[in-house]
Structure formats: structure tokens, C-alpha cells
Amino acid sequence: MRVAIVHYWLVSMRGGEKVVEALCDMYPDADIFTLVYDESRMSETIKRHKVTSSFLQKIPGAVKHYQSLLPLMPFALESLDLSGYDLIISSESGPAKGIIAPPHSTHVCYCHSPMRYIWDHYHVYRARAGLASRMMLPVMAPLLRSWDVSTSLRVDRFVANSHHVKARIGKYYGRSATVIHPPVAVDDYAVSDDIGDFYLCAGQLVSYKRIDLAVRAFTKMGRNLVVIGEGKELAALKAIAGPTITFLGRTPFPVMKEKLARCRALIFPGEEDFGIVPVEAMASGRPVIAFGSGGALETVVPGLSGMLFNEQTPEAIIDAVESFEAQAAMFDPQAIRAHAARFSTRNFKLSMELIIQEELRARKTAALQPAPHGEARRFPFDTVFPVPAPETDRVH
């Protein structure tokens, strides 16, 4: 069986690329297709595979400014030749599912999110875009939405990374999805007995993650906050930060691991489709104080692995931190880590393998059994896949 993995773009190692890594482990002979590719920033796991990029790669500056090429992405994806592949797994957050699959193939889409910038976050993105983008988006967005919806019909089976994303797939595409949470390398993290006097924010410094709320809150409280990450919001965040805020930028994994293990708690003020960093903090035995929306509702269990606040304001974060400090002793690091184990890479691979094999069998059976005259062939799209229980002997 020839397998192709299609990912929107490969320019950094974040949550979506960790999914690609896990798929590469599952299918070591798979070929990878993507819009643009920066080999220097990829892991050895990905670099071991044959990677084919689109014609966008030839445009000067495309690897760095790929987001400005959004209007060309549908053409670039449809130009990728996947002839001869039996199984195609698209990793979707940009427009990856829009490839043209051969008639005989099975196309499973692992959806991190329908494209935020043309759907539910459209007005936020447009308001914060440059002048040229603000003028172009009202013209291009309707065309991209139509293409995005029509290409959802090219997918045989949708898998969503959370129930939050499953609901959005249903709303925008009219399709159901199986829920399998993304892989988190929980075994790479460990509990520490040496807890520092600081809180932590970590992730890409972009507007929708709302790290500005945490910076304002901790500046007002005069408590220590360490911010890890890089992005275009960095200068603006530094401008509003007080002396208790420390920016570390992009850090190597050992530093990130140490900060996750020693922070009093992780502050997670944005709405994420899933949110891998909170699970990494839990795998380190540390609680998470998160905005109660999106994927955090599926990972943060109040009283067990953290606390939730209901408004995206500095005041709500201040109230949550003060409430946490009043009951910090109730959080058990080992119980938090045990909770994180259910989101392990092993469980992701087991779940994906079962879903893919189920879909391959369904397509084979459907091909052998013609539909009755005048009726459309029906396929099982409404599965919600249970997350396997963690192996207790893998929890330290």
C-alpha cells in the first residue's frame, strides 16, 4: 500500500508537525507533500521521508512569507500529483485537504481546525491585518470559503483533534468526524520537587493566544511570569510588561522542560482548538489555569489538573490566580501526570490505526457492493472514538 501524508506547510516544529511525526512513525515508507518546506527546521523523523513541495516553493521568500500566498494555495495543492497512492492522510489546519486524490484511494483528513482566518476568526484577522490584506480579504475570503466547503467532499473520513473542532467541522462543512486527540510526548516530561516562584506562558506569540492578558495581569499583581515563545506580538508584549515579566524567546527543549516542571502553574489565556502545551505542563505534574473554552474544556479538569476562568480579561486571570494560590496544596503532581497520560503518542497511534483500518475496510466493502439503483452509497461518518486508558506502568 502506497501512503501519502499531506501537511499544509512544513516551516517549524509545532503541534501539527508532531502529528506528522507520529504518522511518519506509523508509515515509515510514506511520502510527504506540502505547500512549502524548510528542511533546516524539521526533525530527523520528517527529514527521513521524501518530501515534495508545491510550486510556491519557487517563489522568492515563500518559506518565510507563506501566509501572504493564501490566494494561491488552492492552485498549489491541486497541482500536487498523488497518482498511485492508496491511502492519503491530510493534516489540515490550512487547506491541506484540497488535494485531488485518485479515485481508488482512501482519503482520511486529520483536522486540527477549519481555516480560522476565513471562518470564525475572520473578523479578528482582518482587523489586525495590514492595509493590503484588509482590502484583499473581503474579495478573496468568499471564494476561499466556497473552495474550502467544496473540498470537504473530497475527504472520505474526517478525524477531529477535539470535540470543539468536531463541532466546527459540522457547522462549516456539514460533515461528522471522529475525535482523536493529538499526540503529546508525555514520556519526555517529568515531575520536579523543586518548584520555583514563577508562573509560565508558552507558545507562539500571536494575537489570538491572548498572552497580552497574562502580561497585563501579572504586571498588575507584581508576580513573576516567564513567557516562552517568539512571534510578531513580542514587541507589543514587551511594551506593556512590567519588571516581573521575563521573556525568554524561543528556547531549546531542556529549558522548556525545566520551566514546565518548575512553574507554579501554566497560564493559558487563549482559546485553542486543543492546546498541546497545557498537556505538556500536566505531564510535568503542574496545574493549568486556562480560559474555559475550546480544547481546554477537554484537558483541564477543575480540581484535578487545574482551574478555568470564564472571561478573557486581566481581572479574570487575577481572580483565578488568587483562587489557585488559596488551594494550591490540593493539586497532586502525580495525579495530574496520570491524567496527562491519556493523551500520549502511543494512544494517538493506536486510535488512528484503528480508524484508518476501519475506513479502508469500509471503502473496500463499498466498492464490492454496488448501491441500489437510484440510491447514494452511505458511509459511517458518525463515529466518536474513545481514548484508550493510559498504561499505569508508563506513569512515573
> Does residue 179 sit in helix, strand or coil?
strand
Per-residue pLDDT, 396: 36
- Write the CB contacts of 35 (distance below 8 Å, at least 6 apart in sequence): 8, 9, 53, 54, 56, 57, 66, 69, 73, 76, 77, 94
Whole-number mean pLDDT of the chain? 90
pLDDT over 70 at 391, yes or no: no
Out of 28-42, 59-73, 90-104, 128-142, pick the least confident: 128-142
CATH architecture of structural domain 3-183+345-368: 3-Layer(aba) Sandwich (3.40)
Rounded percentage of the chain residues whose pLDDT exceeds 70:
92
d(CA 261, CA 203): 16
- pLDDT at 353 (0 to 100): 97
pLDDT at 25 over 80: yes
- Most distant CA pair in the chain, distance: 73
Cross-strand bridge partners of residue 53? 34
Burial category of 155 from C-beta neighbours within 10 Å (exposed 0-12, middle 13-18, buried 19 and up):
buried
Q: Mind listing the pLDDT tens digit for each residue in 324-361?
A: 999 999 999 999 999 999 999 999 999 999 999 999 99
Is the pLDDT score of 233 beyond 80?
Answer: yes
Task: State whether residue 290 is helix, strand or coil.
Answer: strand
Residue ranges with strand state E in 58-177: 87-92, 106-111, 157-160
For residues 363 and 319, the model is more confident at 319
- pLDDT given for residue 125 in this prediction: 77
Q: Where are the domains of the chain?
A: 3-183+345-368, 186-342
Query: What local confidence, expressed as pLDDT, does residue 372 receive?
Result: 60
Local structure of residue 247 (DSSP, 8 states): E
Check residue 393 and give its pLDDT: 42
pLDDT band with cut points at 50, 70 and 90 for residue 238: very high
What pLDDT, on a 0 to 100 scale, did the predictor assign at position 394? 39
Q: Residue 267 is inside which H or E element, if any? A: strand 266-268
64 burial class (0-12, 13-18, 19+ CB within 10 angstroms)?
exposed
Residue 290, all three cell numbers: 486556562
Buried b (16+ CB within 10 A) or exposed e, 377-394: eeeeeebebebeebeeee
Does residue 297 carry a pLDDT above 60?
Answer: yes
Please compute the mean of the pLDDT values over residues 133-151 and round it to a whole number.
Answer: 89
Whole-angstrom Cα distance, residue 214 to residue 277? 16
- Per-residue pLDDT, 287: 98
| Grid cell locating 329 | 496544596
197-201-205 Cα angle (round to 5): 150
Percent of the chain scoring above 90 in pLDDT? 77
Q: At what angle do helices 163-173 and 131-151 cross, to 10 degrees?
A: 90
Q: What is the pLDDT of residues 180-220, one digit of tens each?
A: 999 999 999 999 999 999 999 999 898 889 999 999 999 99
Asked whether residue 395 carries a pLDDT value surpassing 90, the answer given is no
Report the Cα 348 to chain-centroid distance in Å: 14
Q: State the average pLDDT over residues 11-28.
A: 93
State which fold the 186-342 domain adopts: Rossmann fold (3.40.50)
* pLDDT grade for 371, boundaries at 50, 70 and 90: low
